[in-house]
Every structure is written in C-alpha cells, then in structure tokens.
Amino acid sequence: MKSKLLFLAPQNPYPPNNGGKISIYFPIKYLSKFFEIYLITPVKYIDDEVKESVKHFESLNVKYYPAIKNTDDKPVDLLKNIFIKIPFKWYKYYSDEIYYFCEDLINSKNINYVFTSAPHMGLYSIRLKERYPNLKIFLREHNIEFTLVEQFVNFTKNPMYKLIGRWQLKKQRC
C-alpha cells in the first residue's frame, strides 16, 4: 500500500507546455509511482482545460482537485498587503476554503506527507504544520522566487516598482 501525499502547486500543470508547468508536472508523474497523490491547485474557473487535466491525472492515478481561486495580481490586494506580515505572493494564493479542504483531505484520507511546489503555496504548509506537527512537509523551490524579486529590484528603473520590490524582499526574508 502506497503512502499518501498531498501535493500543493500554484497552477494547473497540465498540459506541461511551459517551464513552470513542466517543473510541477514531472515530479507529480514520478512521485505517483510511489505515493497515492492528492493534487490541489488554484484555478480561476473550471473550464474544459481543467476538466481535461482532471481526466489526465486520473489516468496517472492522481486525484486532482482544482480549487477556485483567482490569483491574478490586483492593485487592491497589494495595498491590503501593507497591513499583512506575509509576502504578497503567499497572500494572493491563499484561501481559507482551500486550507480547510486540505485539512479535510488529510483527516479523511490519512495523509502524512505534503509536497509544496513553490513558496506561493507555503502558507498552506505552514498552517498545516501548526495543526499537524507530525506531518512531513517538503518544499520545492523551482523558480528561485527570492532571487527573481531581487533581480527585478536591481534592474527596474521605476522607483515605485523598486520600492514595492524592496518591501516584498524584506517580507520574504522574515
């Protein structure tokens, strides 16, 4: 009997047609040989592509649960982030509904491993670890997010963007 793994990713990885999707898709495909995988990703809405993805993952014996969450950048959310300790990217990918769904899966399926693909989904793992101290959580940082923000700050000419970038770098270091 395979161990059970909750796999949290910031986007629907199917079809694997760009670098971000490829870096999520192939670890899922590989790990599905060793784990019973429960995949959760935010999606803006359930469309034909998402439905096709669910079917595709079923063929890999992966249970895919696309969760409705609009992760588009919105200026109002950036302004709200002034009063929030966590980095903007973490905040915009987080929802209580998805978190409670993760809890329900962990409880109902007896999941004891979480694979978090990208810091964007990190707040879920932090909260899950607080709730379930024995849960084994792994983070795969494949975008080198911190370095990308640092490069953005160094190369942007726009003083407002530079200020926002430095502010988010400071939050990411905490």
Strand partners, 137: 114
What token pair was written down for 134?
């024995």
Q: What is the pLDDT of residue 131?
A: 97
**Rounded CA gap, 110 and 3, in Å?**
9
Amino acid 45: pLDDT: 97
DSSP, collapsed to helix, strand or coil, labels residue 158 as: coil
**Is residue 112 pLDDT above 90, yes or no?**
yes
Q: What is the pTM of this model?
A: 0.84
**Predicted local confidence at residue 72, as pLDDT:** 95
Question: Rounded to the nearest 10 degrees, what angle do helices 159-173 and 145-155 cross at?
Answer: 150
Asked if the model's pLDDT at residue 142 lies above 80, the reply is no
What pLDDT was estimated at residue 174?
A: 57
Q: What is the mean pLDDT of residues 142-170?
A: 78
Distance (Å, whole) CA 27 – CA 42 = 18
Just give the CATH number of 3-143. Answer: 3.40.50.620
- pLDDT of 152 reads 78
Instruction: Read off the pLDDT of each residue in 160-173 and give the average, rounded to a whole number.
Output: 79
